């Protein structure tokens, strides 16, 4: 059995999230998803629109997801020590960044594969938030 893992804020759930989860599930038998806690979202000086509990429930309801757990820190290796996944799915905006090259090397030593998926062009929670803000300001 291949256990897959991915993480995200999953705020304003959209087709890009569905694409990530569907593609990830297609490459593993069981998919565990870490949903970023509200406290951890603030590390980016951001605030999610949807509460952590509701984001967990939305992700849990997706048919491609087998289990949902909190992502309470950014250390992917610590999460691997808890979950013991075989493959981790990440957005390709992290591909070949210094941070992810280090994570990738550490995971290779453990036999964990990192798969980078392309972001869905034209949609993101940030873009949706900006459009909503623009619409509110036009009133």
Question: In what order do the strands lie in the sheet containing 3-8?
Answer: 67-71, 30-36, 3-8, 87-91, 113-117
Instruction: Report d(CA 21, CA 34) in Å as an integer.
Output: 12
25, 30, 46, 84: the catalytic one is 46
Tokens for 7, please give them: 């993480």
Residue 44 appears among annotated catalytic residues:
yes
Angle at 14 between CA 12 and CA 16, to 5 degrees: 130
44, 47, 121, 139: the catalytic one is 44
Instruction: Report d(CA 55, CA 135) in Å as an integer.
Output: 24
Residue 106 appears among annotated catalytic residues:
no
Which are the catalytic amino acids?
44, 46
């Amino acid at each position: 059995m291949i256990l897959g893992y991915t993480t995200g804020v999953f705020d304003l759930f959209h087709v890009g999230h569905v694409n990530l989860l569907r593609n990830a599930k297609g490459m593993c038998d069981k998919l565990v998803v870490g949903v970023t806690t509200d406290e951890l979202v603030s590390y980016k000086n951001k605030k999610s629109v949807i509460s952590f509990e509701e984001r967990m429930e939305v992700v849990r309801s997706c048919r491609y997801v087998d289990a949902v757990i909190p992502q309470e820190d950014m250390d992917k290796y610590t999460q691997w020590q808890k979950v013991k996944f075989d493959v981790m799915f990440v957005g390709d905006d992290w591909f070949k960044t210094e941070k992810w090259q280090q994570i990738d090397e550490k995971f290779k030593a453990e036999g964990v594969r990192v798969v980078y998926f392309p972001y869905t062009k034209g949609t993101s929670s940030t873009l949706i938030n900006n459009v909503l803000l623009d619409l509110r300001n036009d009133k």
